[in-house]
Amino acid sequence: MYLDHHDWLKQWLNSRVRYPFTAADLVQDTFVKLLQTKQLFSIQEPRAYLVNVAKHVLIDKHRRYILEQNYLETLKQHADDQDLLISSNQIEEAVVILDFLTIALQNTTALTRKAFIMYYFEGYSQSEIATEIGKSLRTTQLYLAECLQLCYEAKNNLLELGLDER
Residue-level pLDDT at 166? 45
For the chain, the maximum distance between any two Cα atoms, rounded to a whole number of angstroms, is 59
What φ, ψ does residue 22 adopt, rounded to 5°?
-65, -45
- List, for residues 87-140, the tens digit of each pLDDT value: 777 777 777 777 778 878 888 888 998 999 899 888 899 999 999 999 999 999
Rounded Cα–Cα distance for residues 70 and 65 (Å): 9
Does domain 87-166 fall under CATH 3.40.470.10? My reply is no
Residue 165 has pLDDT above 50, yes or no: no
Instruction: Give the start-to-end residue ranges of the domains of the chain.
Output: 1-84, 87-166
Helix (H) or strand (E) holding 156: helix 137-161
- Amino acid in position 48: A
Rounded Cα–Cα distance for residues 129 and 138 (Å): 11
Rounded Cα–Cα distance for residues 87 and 98 (Å): 17
Rounded Cα–Cα distance for residues 91 and 97 (Å): 10
Q: Range with the lowest mean pLDDT among 12-21, 62-71, 80-89, 149-158? A: 80-89
Rounded Cα–Cα distance for residues 61 and 63 (Å): 6
Q: In 10 A of CB 111, how many CB atoms?
A: 15
Q: Spell out the residues 6+ positions from residue 10 whose beta carbon is closer than 8 angstroms to its own.
A: 23, 24, 27
Report yes or no: 94 and 84 within 8 Å, Cβ to Cβ: no
Query: Average per-residue pLDDT in the chain?
Result: 81
